[in-house]
Amino acid sequence: MKKLQDIAAETLSRIRERSPLVLSLTNSVVQPLTANLLLAVGATPAMLNDASECADMIEACGNALLVNLGTLTREQADAMRVATDTANARGVPWVLDPVAVGLLKFRTEFARELLAKTPTVIRGNGAEILALAGYAAKTRGPESTCGSEAAAEAARELARGCGAAVLVTGAVDYATDGAGTLACANGHPMLTRVTGAGCSMGALTAACAAVADSPLEAAAAAAVLTGVAGEIAFENSGAPGTFAVKLLDAFYEMTPELVRSRTKAV
Amino acid sequence: MKKLQDIAAETLSRIRERSPLVLSLTNSVVQPLTANLLLAVGATPAMLNDASECADMIEACGNALLVNLGTLTREQADAMRVATDTANARGVPWVLDPVAVGLLKFRTEFARELLAKTPTVIRGNGAEILALAGYAAKTRGPESTCGSEAAAEAARELARGCGAAVLVTGAVDYATDGAGTLACANGHPMLTRVTGAGCSMGALTAACAAVADSPLEAAAAAAVLTGVAGEIAFENSGAPGTFAVKLLDAFYEMTPELVRSRTKAV
Amino acid sequence: MKKLQDIAAETLSRIRERSPLVLSLTNSVVQPLTANLLLAVGATPAMLNDASECADMIEACGNALLVNLGTLTREQADAMRVATDTANARGVPWVLDPVAVGLLKFRTEFARELLAKTPTVIRGNGAEILALAGYAAKTRGPESTCGSEAAAEAARELARGCGAAVLVTGAVDYATDGAGTLACANGHPMLTRVTGAGCSMGALTAACAAVADSPLEAAAAAAVLTGVAGEIAFENSGAPGTFAVKLLDAFYEMTPELVRSRTKAV
């Protein structure tokens, strides 16, 4: 298997070259940051609310799809059904971000429905991945109430069970496809003080999936790129308002060489 | 009654210790700032759009609820009905932010419906509070067309009539429960040049209500904390883009001691 | 015809004096930036989702209306129908921003329906204007896949056909009412790396239309003001997170004199 630093650096290079269009069906809170982060890293964001337009967009020019359940409604679930079906029919990779699954019934049932359609990558925190894998962990809103380590084995089970790569994020991020696992210690706790930093990572994972050699490599690259950008942002600001601004700057300014030199494989 | 500076300082300490989860059913324009402000001050934000999920969230882990009418729809009104009923049944405090009530018929009628359910705190500008109290004041979109002083007496009437504490915001902020009134002169006009600064104050009021000894103290604390953060932000920037960023930084960095020393009781 | 620099400077002066209320029915991704940009330049933003409230707001105090199709839904289309009918009945100017028209069928049909109601100004990139004018250009999500020059003649045809002024934005911005054309070379490519910079320009165009002597002058002024603010922002930051913050600062701080001196008529 390639080294983590090479995966991350090469994925960034490819995003910059190809500017994949990522259709993000995501929650209403994080849309501005998500779109700005995709633009900053070099991808092309698109966001829609109408089901028929989601299908049209994926068919016309979609390179990847994000499905984030953060503020799910019945109408949005319908759009997500159409979008994931279209993505599967066209071979477009898609990422499931199961925000607060395990805590809220409607989305938990819907996440299981989506699981059966085989996402390319699932990105969640420890509690969300444990819940998706069938364990009784509880999430507390957007926060994880357990560490990523506790969910690493559940992530492997989940990956083997549903055929997706799984990215569990936390102090250490674990990317696994059930066979191999890549772990990354990049990042900074200040990322948890910015609304949408995790959700935007889901969109970045979709951008990575559009260009990477495998779902596992896409998941691992997204973890490294987010972690490195978070570290650089924190070096420029210790308070969350400025940190969020510097995070976008860091995604824009970072180079494959810098990513390679800063990757912390575990 | 406790002194204003002690109320504000102690409320901040408690938010930092307990990190109350605030479910914010708020308008689509201000969701990112609202969530980021709650995170910066030390609370835990949650935002949802589905009615059943609102009930589930409040029952599972909700410590306070914000209901902001800024971009009300029929569907959101239904979610707000369920959420406020659940909050009342569980003893969870909730804040009503009656944006532009008095100007627009649909939300004015809905605000009256909510009033009958006894919010814990109502936060509005002078025109909104006058309108809710039954006076003929007009709002102009999100702007108040009258000062807070003109509405201070109406706020007391409203508080006595519906059993909520009322926070009227303006150059001077008045918090009243109909019996006592606390007034605060902190703040800066630049807060009116940032979209969502007022709406985020409503969410902060909910966070305060989750930890304060009374609705009146929660309202007063929210006024002081917002005012102090606004003053600090303006000391760091005189233009609204940077000011908004520094406002979040100020909420993150301010200490109970700083708040105590800067409180301007009137 | 007045000189471009005088049009731009005088329009800014009038926005500052009159603070026109702009009701923006716009996509969910760009609402915060749009509202903050309007506040920064001196206008009054309002955003609503309910159709009856849109009519009430325009009748009570609306000075201009923006209709942006970025995340169109069936419900939002209904609100836009009511809002544009109300605006036409009251003589309130309105701007159509046909995001991604030509690529997605639902919005393309809806844009044609709106065209028949005679917008005051249409603002789009080259591909969107070509598509609206009946040419086969394709957009790729929010990005234009052709330059503004290629669409300048189509813009004149479109303006003559539907009676609106048309603003085509790109490296050079062209404003035309079918008879006269004003072209502006202000701006910076970094504006394309900030989500909502273009959409916010549509809202600014509406603010300009509320105060300018003609739709053509409104369109031209919006192009100059946005371009100058973008240039100033880039002088302060070369990365998109900070650039977006400085863009708002630039709109707040720029004076009519500065705008006059920096206008680049072509």
Residue written as tokens 């500052």? C16
The domain in which residue A103 lies consists of 4-262
Query: Residue A138: closest CA among chain B residues belongs to which residue?
Result: B60
User: Interface of chain B against chain C, CB under 8 Å?
Assistant: 27-30, 32-33, 70-74, 100, 103-107, 138, 140-143, 193-196, 237, 239-242, 244-245
Residue from A105, A104, A152 nearest A124 by CA: A152
Band (pLDDT 50/70/90 cuts) for residue B143 is low
Query: C130 by DSSP, 3-state: which?
Result: helix
Q: Per the structure, how many domains does chain B have?
A: 1
Quote the CA–CA distance of C40 and C148 in Å, as a whole number: 27
Is residue C237, in this structure, part of any structural domain at all?
no
pLDDT at B179 over 70: yes
Quote the CA–CA distance of B207 and B228 in Å, as a whole number: 17
- The interface predicted TM-score (ipTM) is 0.95
Residues B150-159: tens digit of each pLDDT: 899 999 999 9
CB C165 within 8 A of CB C219: yes
Q: If you average pLDDT over residues C138-151, what whole number do you get?
A: 67
Is residue C134, in this structure, part of any structural domain at all?
yes
Band (pLDDT 50/70/90 cuts) for residue A136 is confident
Partner residue facing C193 (CB), from A28, A40, A75: A40
Is residue C230, in this structure, part of any structural domain at all?
no
What's the pLDDT score for residue C147? 78
Cite the beta strand spans of chain B per DSSP E: 21-25, 44-46, 64-68, 94-97, 121-125, 165-169, 173-176, 181-184
Quote the CA–CA distance of B84 and B70 in Å, as a whole number: 17
Q: Enumerate the residues of chain C whose CB falls inside 8 A of the CB of residue A246.
A: 241-242
Is residue B175, in this structure, part of any structural domain at all?
yes
For residue B213, give every residue at least 6 positions away whose Cβ sits within 8 Å of its Cβ, in sequence order, or none: none
Band (pLDDT 50/70/90 cuts) for residue C143 is low
pLDDT at A262 over 60: yes
pTM beyond 0.90: the answer is yes
CA–CA min distance C205, chain A (Å):
21
Helices (H), ranges, chain A: 4-18, 31-41, 51-61, 74-90, 105-115, 126-132, 149-162, 197-211, 215-236, 240-253, 256-262
Report the neighbours of B using a cutoff of 3 or more CB pairs below 8 angstroms. Answer: A, C
For residue B71, give every residue at least 6 positions away whose Cβ sits within 8 Å of its Cβ, in sequence order, or none: B27, B28, B29, C47, C48, C49, C50
Least confident of A46-60, B236-250, C127-141: C127-141
Report the neighbours of C using a cutoff of 3 or more CB pairs below 8 angstroms. Answer: A, B
Q: Is the dihedral of CA B75, B77, B78, B79 positive or negative?
A: positive
Partner residue facing C71 (CB), from A21, A48, A247: A48
Quote the CA–CA distance of A202 and C61 in Å, as a whole number: 41
CA–CA min distance B201, chain A (Å):
16
Cite the beta strand spans of B41-119 per DSSP E: 44-46, 64-68, 94-97
Residues C49-79: tens digit of each pLDDT: 999 999 999 999 999 999 999 999 999 999 9
B90-99: buried (b, 16+ CB within 10 Å) or exposed (e) per residue? eebbbbbbbb
Is residue C39, in this structure, part of any structural domain at all?
yes
CB A187 within 8 A of CB A227: yes
Q: Enumerate the residues of chain A whose CB falls inside 8 A of the CB of residue C73.
A: 49-50, 75
User: Interface of chain C against chain B, CB under 8 Å?
Assistant: 21, 28, 31-32, 35-36, 39-40, 44-50, 52-53, 56-57, 60-61, 75, 244-249, 252-253
Is residue B14, in this structure, part of any structural domain at all?
yes
Is residue C114, in this structure, part of any structural domain at all?
yes
What's the pLDDT score for residue C149? 82
CB C70 within 8 A of CB C107: no
Q: If you average pLDDT over residues A137-164, what whole number do you get?
A: 80
User: Interface of chain A against chain C, CB under 8 Å?
Assistant: 21, 28, 31-32, 35-36, 39-40, 44-50, 52-53, 56-57, 60-61, 75, 244-249, 252-253
For residue A58, give every residue at least 6 positions away whose Cβ sits within 8 Å of its Cβ, in sequence order, or none: A23, A65, A83, A86, A87, A90, A92
Is residue C89, in this structure, part of any structural domain at all?
yes
What's the pLDDT score for residue C6? 98
Residues C24-40: tens digit of each pLDDT: 999 999 999 999 999 99
Q: If you average pLDDT over residues A205-222, what whole number do you get?
A: 98
Query: Residue C32: closest CA among chain B residues belongs to which residue?
Result: B29
Q: Do C28 and B28 touch (CB under 8 A)?
A: yes
Q: Do B242 and C247 touch (CB under 8 A)?
A: no
For residue B187, give every residue at least 6 positions away whose Cβ sits within 8 Å of its Cβ, in sequence order, or none: B171, B173, B223, B226, B227, B230, B231
Residue from B205, B113, B119 nearest B162 by CA: B119
* CATH label of the domain that carries residue C129: 3.40.1190.20
